[in-house]
Amino acid sequence: AGRCRAAASRYTLTAAAGRWRAHLDRVFPPAPPAVAHRSRPLRVGVAGHDLKFLTRLLDHFRALPGLDVRVDAWPALARHDQAASRDLADWADVVVVEWCGPAAVWYSRHKRRGSRLVIRLHRFELDAEWPHQVDIDAVDRVVCVSPYYARRTLELTGWPAEKVVTVPNWVDAEQLDRPKAPGARFRLGMIGIAPSRKRLDLGLDVLELLRAEDRRWRLSVKSKPPWEYWWIWNKPEERAHYEAILRRVQTSPLLEGAVVFDDFGADVPTWLRRVGHVLSTSDDESFHLAPAEGMASGAVPALLPWPGADEIYDRRWIHAGPRAMAEAIAGLGADGETWRAAGETARSQVRRAYALDRVAAAWTDLLVTGRITGG
């Protein structure tokens, strides 16, 4: 009777009303106080060639009363409709440029007097010439997704420290929170394996170490193949890296039948139901969303110590190398109870730090007031 009552508790009228209230609050959020009494909506322009990291934030901006949102979607990194971009620059009170690339350079040189310009910088831009081409005097804020890359940005550009702020990536914790499928405890997951600095080879090291003791372990890889990225596949050293990896998957006795390559796509919440541990074996990352998404699903993250990882993720999840990572994963116990407890801890951590509503609130502050409350 107790088990039946517990199983039914999620479906009571009170519980259902609570879920719907949360959904409705997302779709119909209250107006920010700073725009509630404006004579017209705050005009927000968003520009860039790749807006995948802004999708749910854009939904939030569009839902906010008092904001009018338009998008200048560049069809390629350095290609755009100049007339449309100029119209947006002339119209907007605030322009957000995703990636510090050619779009950031263009908007910094065509900023309307009295408007504000916010640029979000990730990682790859720092290795290119674009940050040095940006007119930083025209930029009000540069948003970095981690403290480490905020410091790196200041070191490499010499920009004024007061212009560089940190707002983490968002995680849709509600969408990712789904029951684990049977067998998830023994499945590793990696999301995104290109370019080679993502180090799939180290993920294979972890899998081989685990399978040497227990053949139940598997690895699922969700990613576009590297040959679908022309700027990666044109480099001989990248091709050689992946050729060696694929040959290893085909010939290693410990990897035989244990590595699955799944299609790239938006079905990450469903895919993560089968995954019990999400690996981050990269040489470096600006944030690496995959472990956080795994944590929101109840998977246990396992990271190598790439620069800045310990400022984003709890050090308990960071391991010195593939062997230490494999030992920590195996040490969670075969019965699953210790693994489930670790997954619940990880889920709680990501909700406190990177849940969509928290990150959206920080971005709303930035757009409406030009600053982040408490930071």
Distance between CA 176 and CA 311 in Å, rounded? 23
Q: What pLDDT is recorded for position 118?
A: 98
Q: What pLDDT is recorded for position 25?
A: 84
Q: What pLDDT is recorded for position 375?
A: 41
Domains of the chain: 31-170+355-369 (3.40.50.2000), 180-354 (3.40.50.2000)
Q: What pLDDT is recorded for position 154?
A: 96
Q: What pLDDT is recorded for position 374?
A: 47
Query: Per residue in 60-88, is it b (16+ CB within 10 Å) or e — as a string?
Result: bbeebebbbbbbbebeebeebeeeebeeb
- Using 70 as the pLDDT threshold, list the residues of the chain that sit under it: 373-375
Q: What pLDDT is recorded for position 373?
A: 63
DSSP character string of 101-137: SHHHHHHHHSPPTT-EEEEEE-SGGGGSSHHHHS-GG
Q: Over 136-150, what HEC string results?
A: HHHCCEEEECCHHHH
